[in-house]
């Protein structure tokens, strides 16, 4: 297990500079004219998505991690017959929240995870506009770094796994452990819900209305992309219910951050953790719960 923990930390050292560099390329496009094309499923695609994918894949396939497969939203999707034998792999969304990007709302992220068998064990969620990054690894915990300009100063442009542990300790000292202390007043009578800004649904509205019957004070926050996982992990929000479709690369990195902060990301029906590297990469509905919330089954009872 110690060998695997060292591998996750080594991957983290590579993923952080990759996310930072991809974020810079995304911002270059963001601050200029944005040309949008559309995929077969009508989801938007920009030059920023493609540039970020190229940068991240270049970073992740260099050095000691070159043997780890990469599954990226913008790359070639390896058929299940080939990937079902993968013990671990990189799971990447180079630009999560393209709608937020196109509309210049700023709430888009770079998501990089490592999946071990069926679960996320390392995750990086970077917010280029704010220069903030959430990161986590199994056995290390979950953290928020307020200024990701620190990353290249610590790890160089591509990460230095051979010196990773000492530099990683320096990074942890400069970061805030999650959940944060007191971002919201903790009370059994208060609930803060976070939901999608671009993918609202009747189910979420109904969820909030049901919550108001149990809690005296229910607040709803709209946010884009994997930022929602970060808000739950840090304690700004307590719960994120998702009834609409998502893909594995949308959730892997944020899932890891939430779990390592003491929370959970559970399938709505089974109330068991989301699993990864499925034959179909589409996720079922899920609920993301913060560390201090407790049982919420009553909010989903029919």
Domain of 162, CATH number, reads 3.30.540.10
- Which of 100, 72, 77 lies closest to 250, judged by CA? 72
Shared domain for 217 and 120, answered yes or no, is no
Does residue 173 have a pLDDT over 90? yes
Q: What percent of the chain has pLDDT over 70?
A: 91
Shared domain for 130 and 10, answered yes or no, is yes
Shared domain for 77 and 171, answered yes or no, is yes
Among 177, 204, 231, the domain-final residue is 177
Beta bridge partners of 72: 92
Residue 182 lies in a domain: no
Shared domain for 54 and 153, answered yes or no, is yes
Beta bridge partners of 45: 37
Confidence of residue 187 (pLDDT cuts 50, 70, 90): low
More confident of the two residues 74 and 116? 116
DSSP state of 86: -
Q: How many domains does one find in the chain? A: 2
Shared domain for 13 and 129, answered yes or no, is yes
Shared domain for 29 and 64, answered yes or no, is yes
Q: What is the mean pLDDT of residues 151-179?
A: 82
Joined together, the tokens standing for residue 49 give 């998505």
3-class DSSP state for residue 143? strand
Among 146, 177, 208, the domain-final residue is 177
77-115 b/e (C-beta count within 10 Å ≥ 16 → b): eeeeeeeeeeebbbbbbbbbbbbbbbbebebbbbbbbbb
Are the beta carbons of 228 and 254 closer than 8 angstroms?
yes
Shared domain for 213 and 112, answered yes or no, is no
What is the DSSP pairing of strand 132-137 with strand 119-127? antiparallel
Shared domain for 101 and 241, answered yes or no, is no
Which range of residues forms the domain containing residue 44?
Answer: 2-177
Phi, psi of 104 (to 5 degrees): 55, 45
Q: What is the pLDDT of residues 35-57, one digit of tens each?
A: 777 776 667 778 889 999 999 99
Residue 223 lies in a domain: yes
What's the pLDDT at 155? 87
Length of the chain in terms of residues written: 302
* Omega within 30 of 0 (cis) for the link into 293: no
Q: What is the mean pLDDT of residues 279-290?
A: 96
Does residue 164 have a pLDDT over 60? no
Residue 54 lies in a domain: yes
Are the beta carbons of 56 and 18 closer than 8 angstroms?
yes
Shared domain for 34 and 162, answered yes or no, is yes
């Amino acid at each position: 297990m110690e060998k695997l923990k060292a591998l996750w930390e080594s991957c983290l050292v590579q993923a952080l500079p990759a996310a930072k560099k991809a974020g810079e390329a995304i911002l270059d496009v963001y601050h200029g004219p944005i040309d949008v094309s559309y995929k077969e499923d009508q989801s938007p695609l920009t030059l920023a998505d493609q540039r970020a994918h190229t940068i991240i894949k270049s970073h992740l396939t260099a050095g000691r991690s070159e043997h780890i497969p990469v599954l990226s939203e913008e790359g070639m999707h390896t058929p299940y017959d080939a990937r079902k034998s993968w013990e671990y792999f990189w799971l990447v969304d180079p630009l999560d929240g393209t709608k937020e990007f196109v509309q210049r709302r700023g709430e888009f992220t770079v998501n990089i995870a490592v999946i071990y068998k069926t679960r996320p064990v390392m995750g990086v969620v970077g917010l280029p506009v704010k220069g903030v990054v959430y990161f986590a690894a199994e056995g290390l915990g979950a953290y928020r770094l307020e200024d990701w300009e620190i990353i290249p100063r610590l790890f160089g442009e591509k990460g230095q796994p051979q010196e990773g542990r000492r530099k990683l300790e320096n990074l942890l000292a400069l970061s805030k452990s999650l959940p944060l202390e007191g971002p919201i007043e903790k009370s059994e009578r208060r609930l803060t819900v976070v939901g999608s800004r671009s993918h609202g649904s009747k189910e979420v509205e109904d969820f909030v209305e049901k919550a108001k019957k149990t809690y005296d004070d229910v607040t709803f926050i709209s946010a884009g992309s994997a930022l929602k996982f970060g808000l739950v992990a840090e304690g700004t929000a307590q719960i994120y219910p998702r009834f609409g479709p998502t893909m594995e690369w949308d959730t892997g990195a944020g899932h890891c951050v939430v779990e390592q902060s003491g929370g959970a990301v559970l399938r709505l029906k089974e109330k068991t953790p989301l699993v990864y590297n499925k034959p179909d990469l589409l996720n079922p509905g899920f609920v993301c719960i913060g560390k201090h919330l407790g049982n919420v089954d009553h909010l989903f009872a029919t």
